[in-house]
Every structure is written in C-alpha cells, then in structure tokens.
Structure 1
Amino acid sequence: MTASPGASRNSAPSAVPYIERGTPEFWRASLALLFAGYATFSLLYCVQPLLPAFSETFGVSPAQSSLSLSFTTAALAIAIFVAGFVSEGWSRRGMMTASLCASSLLTLATAFVPHWHQLLVLRTLQGIALGGVPAVAMAWLAEEMHPEGLGLSMGLYVGGTAIGGMAGRVITGIVTDLFGWRAAVAVIGVLGLASMFAFRSLLPPSRHFVPKSGLGFAHHRAALLRHFARPGLPMLFAMGFVLMGSFVTLYNYIGYRLIAPPYHMSQAAIGAIFLVYLTGVVASPWSGRMADTFGRGRVLITSLALMLTGVVLTLFAPLAAIAAGIACLTIGFFAGHAVASGWVGRLAREAKGQAAALYLLSYYLGSSVMGSIGGHFWTAAGWAGVAGLVIVLLVVGLALALKLRARERAGAA
C-alpha cells in the first residue's frame, strides 16, 4: 500500500503508510539508492588501486600515497556529521542529488591536476561534497520503509556500495593499464554523473519527513546526548569504525603486496581481484533478510568471524589463498555493515539522520585513521604487520558484537 506524494502535507506522520517490501515503489526506491550507493563508493574508492601509480608518478611513499584516500574519508566523516544536523532542515532528495553532482565534478577535475598537493586538495573537497549522501540515505530508508522490509532495503543500498566499490577499482585498473590513471579517474567521474541523474529520476518523495526550520544548537546537542545515552547505539557506532577500518586497511595495501615479487601483477590483474566485491552485492541484502528473521546479533557475529578467517587466509603465499581471503573479508564486511547500519535506524527513536551520521562518522574515521596507520605497519613489518593490525581490530569488533547479541537476546536492543 502506498500514499500520494502529498500525503505528508495533509496527514499526521503516523497515518501515512510506509513503503512495503515487494511493492513497485519499494523496488524503485531501492534501485535509486543502489545508484546512490554505487556512485558514493566508486567516487570515493577509485583511487585505491592507484596508490602504487601515485607513488610512481608523484614520488611519494606508500603511507603518503594513502593520504589520497585518507584525506577524503576524513573529510567525509566530518561532512557526514555536519550533514546529520543540517539534513533535518533540508530536502532529503535535493541534498543527496547536489552531493552526488558536486563530487562527480570534483572527480573529473582530479584527473587533470599536475601536482600531488593539488590532488590532495581536490580529494579532500570531494569528501566534503560526498557528505550529503550516506547519512541521509540511511535516514531516508529508516523513515520511509516498513520495518519488516528495512533490513532488505538497507541491504540493497549497501549492495549498491559494493557494486560501486568493485566498479571503481576494476574499471580504474583496466583503464589505467590502457590509457593511464588520469583517464581512469575521468571515466569514474562521468559514471558518477550518470548515476546521479538515475537516482534523481527514481527516488520517491519523502512522506514521513518534513524539513524543520529553526532547530538551534540546543536542540541538536540534546538529540546528540540522547543518542549516546541510548543503550546499544554507542557500541554500533564503534562497530562502524571496526568494520570499515579493517576493510580499508587490507584493501589499501594488498596492491603493494601483489605488484611486488613473487607476484608481479599488473594494475588490471590487481583490479580484477576486486571482482570479489560482487559477493557483497549478494551478501548485503541476504544478511539484511537474515537479520530480520534470525536476529541482528547472530548475523553480525558470523560476519566478523568470516572477516577474521579472510585475514588469516591472506597470510598464506598462494594467490588462490589470498583471493579467497579477500573474498571472505569482503562478504563479511558488507554483511556486517548492512546489519549494523540497519540496527542504528531501528534503535534511534528520533533524529535518525543524526544517528546515521554518528555511525558513519565513526565508520569513515575508521577508514581514514586505520587506513593511514596501516601504511606504517606495512613499512615496518610487511604484510604480516598489516594483517596483524586488522586481526586485533576485528577481535575488538567481535567482543562488541557479542555484547550486542546479549542485549538483543535480553530484549534490550
């Protein structure tokens, strides 16, 4: 059952029906946000397979090269936090559209910069521009989707990010081998613009959200404190740091390992390994449905255990073991992120955009902080150092997941 677009203007929010799973509007909204997720992750992570190329072109170290991603994710983390506040007074769809457009244009500009520091400035601005998508998308889903279909819809959105992450890396690797990294970045920017137009045409108007004016600092501060006082939410915020920090750290430095002896892999071949991102397209909606059916804590624990298994597999020398390890880590990451992000929307009783922003602030800080720290572990101890760092982080995450599961079983989360 659906309502007319003007329903929210004439009806109390509680009287306006949610978008139910399986309806045409559900699939339109899910496809729109899949495009948004694709664009966000492809624009954000297209430079990840290019880190060795940046080291060669600009004469920078692996840790310095990783700043092209870490600066972007750090800026994105801050921008998401701000967006969580201001989004309560802006159109959800308008904010996401403007964000996708600006970040796509900045990506195109990045393809033409001659100097390293100029590239870092543009990548930082891109992180700021992208801030209007992730938290707002999560809030839109939590507000508009029927609770029984929220897990699936959130999983489909996260699946879009998996497609974006895969396409950004694979397309970049192939085009770089053929025409150079500048052409590869330009292609990603053009595809981002196309995704923005598709998103804009597909997403239905909000029905359970009306922009609010006059919300001052006192209102936002009170809502912020209530989120941290809400049992379970702080642990989910920390879970975002663990999941993304582990995932990005491994992906940042696996290219350095595979391009060196004894593997001597090309950029295109390394990019092909990222086809395992396609497993995330399946894992995200599947885990969302499993969480709706069997409990979020149980699926989250399984996801983290799978990530740990994957990291251990990458310690072995055969390329098949490394590829299997990357696949396990990828499946576990996307499954865990789909569950944790959907759980935030369910636990937050108000200001869902702000709650989503807090989760994503921690999520992208994990990418920025751990992604850069991993470079020092790579320099000091090689792949064993990187893997050891990720294992420690995932063990912390597993302890958090066990606590969340205990609260869920007690009916408290």
Structure 2
Amino acid sequence: MNLLKKTFLKLGIRNKNARRTNELNQLYKFLGIDNGANKDTLSEATYFSCLKVLSESVGKLPLKILKHTDKNGVFTVRDHALYTVLHDRPNPYMTASTFWSTVEFNRNHYGNAYVWIQGAGDNLSLWILPSTDVQVWYDDGKILSAQPDVYYIYTGGGKTFKFGSEEILHFRTSNTFDGLMGVPIQDQLKTTLTGAVKSQKLLEKMYESGFTAKAVLQYTGNLNDENVKAFVKGIESYSKGELSEEGIENIIPIPLGSQLTPLNVKLADNQFIEVKQYTALQIASAFGIKPYQIGDYTKSSYASTEIQQLSFYVDTLLYIIKQYEEEITYKLLSHEEIESGLYVKFNVNVILRADLSTQIDTLSKGVAGFIYTPNEARAMLDLESKPGGDKLLGNGASIPVELAGTQYIKTDTSEGEDPKKDAKKEGEEEDNG
C-alpha cells in the first residue's frame, strides 16, 4: 500500500470500493454462491449483446448544450467552449460516439465509470479512467475539508493520483446501496451468468467430441491401470476424430471381446434450449433490454418499429441519459451558467425518428399548427433554410384563442330598428347610386 493510501487510512477516510466488495462477498457467502466461479462473463453471448445494445444506444445520441430564453424558448449554444468537446471530440483520440459508448460499457460491466476532467474552457478535455484502477474514498469525518467530500484515487504507470469530486464525472448503475457506488450487473446476475457460461462450455465440449457423450467400455481379462489408460486413450482418439489426417474418421476399432456402449445425453430431453432461452431473457431483463433486441421475436407485440424504440427509450434509456445529463451539467457548467439557463441534453430524436412519410406528415401539421417555422421543419430533415421561412405560418382559418367564439356574437342594433330592413335599404341605395 502506497503512502497516499496509508495516509487516508490513518485519517479514517473510508474506501467505498472495499466496503461494497465486502458487503457483496458476505451476501454471496450467505446465499452459498461461489464468488469466483464466473471469471469471464463477457464470453456469454447474451450478456455481451446487452452491453453492446446499451453502449451503442448512448453513443449514437448527440450531446448538445442548450439554453432557455427569456420567452421560454430553447436554442442550441453552438459557440460555447464545451460544445465541440461534448458533441464532437472529448479528447484528441476519441470521437464523441466512441467516448460515450465506452463510458456506458464500463458503467454497466464494472458498475461505475470515471471520466477525468482535464483543464478548463477552451483547453478542457475528457479522459476515461480504467474502472479497475480507481478507488473511491469518502471523507465523512471532515478531516481534509470542512465539508465531507469524495476522493477518487487512480493508480496507473506506477503512480497514484488523487482527484476531488469536482474533477471526476462519475456514472454509476441504477442499483446502489449508498448512492455513491453502483453495483455491477454481472454481480447482480452472478448465479445466472455462471450457469450460462457453463452451458456454453458444455456445448463446446460436445462439439469437440463430435456430440459423442461418455461411454462405457466393456472388456474381458485383467489389465493394470497403465494398460487400461492406454487402451481407453486409443479408442478415444478414434472416437474424437483425432486420426482424421490419416484418413480415419468414422470407424472405431474394438478388440475382440470388448464392447463400447455410449451414454447418450439428449439436449431435448433436458430442455436445454428452453432453459438457455429463459436464462437469456433473465440477463436481458436485468439490463432493461427488450427480447426483440437480442433476437427473440416469439412474443413481439409492438405495432411498429417506432413504438418499439419509444418503449426502449421510456423503460430503459430515459433513466440512463438523465443521469448523464445531470452529472455533466453540474460538473462542467459553472453555477452562473446554470442559473442563466444553460444545460446539457441528449438529442433522443435520432432513435425516435419515424419513416420519411410520417416525418413529413408530422412536420407539415406542425407548421400548419403554428408550432414550427418552415425553416425549423426543414432543419429537422437536414435541409437548408430558405428566405422567408423563419416566420410562423399556418392555416388561414386559425384565430387567436382570445378571439374564439366572437364570430357567433350578434352586433348590437338600435331599438325599434330591423337589421334585415336596414341591410335591404343599403343594398337598394347602392344600386341606385
């Protein structure tokens, strides 16, 4: 343990990572779960697919800086110093899509993702810290400052670096015991993922053995242990196809007086496919992934792709991107900027976009209903603006809400006069004139 960590322990500052790990280990021990059984969860196809879906979904959403106007409107602040960093290039080596998808991948797999905020203003850049090399320490005893603060200890290249809470963007999973450290999804699915990995290994072994299960070899006579091993090894080399290079593939020679009886294991009898499918649905459910997104269309009940995407956004992505927006807005924008109406927001329209015919019909109604200007509607279709297109247009029959119903109010007339006669008299005077 290095000097910095010794100093923190001496001051009584608690390591949140160690505390969470100890709590989980105690829970596993109580439930009888082997904590070290699952060493390679990424090899499980469904688990990896769910990570891929979530990371790519976040990576494809453009991140923008917006501002509320005095008239309750909103516009994009493209000239802000952070706009290019968030929208295009967080650092010289990563695009925004790669950066945010990597953050999301780490957040789900490790439970927490850490981004170092380097510099400020025009010189600001964002760097992803390896989640396995970061420890979180909490100064709840107010030893280092008057206010309790969270410190992030990063160890890399043989050196240790200490960052305050304002220097790190911390994204965690929705499952957390203390509101600070997120629980990795692989920890939540420890037993489920262990079974899924074992089932995959079973299939691999069956492929290697040519789908030949264990067999009973009966022979006459007495053989010592060494001769039995050599005898069995010879027959097994034939059954596994290890002599295929010599042209021997399908024939297994059995000595006289011997009999080979296979112990067949049928996957159908053990409902292997059904169990594997149920396991896949459990894993997807923990991520908030819909069955159709992992290739299960047996119970698809959505009317259209647009409704599918809307359901995925509301049920799964909304919480995730809201966490990103809140953390980025608080850590990267100053208090004065936030007070002036600045905030960070993902553009979710890219995943909720309908087909071209529906888009045009919707935008046309928006323009006719005084919601969009023609140029605003054209911008949503990636078309250039046109002269005169910045005015609100609409149906000529529309009237302001404060004048609604005035067309049904009769005009007052003088007492004793007949409006119909007056109108007829005016018409005769015009004809004579």
User: Which TM-score applies when normalising by structure 1?
Assistant: 0.22
More helix by share: 1
More strand by share: 2
User: Which TM-score applies when normalising by structure 2?
Assistant: 0.21
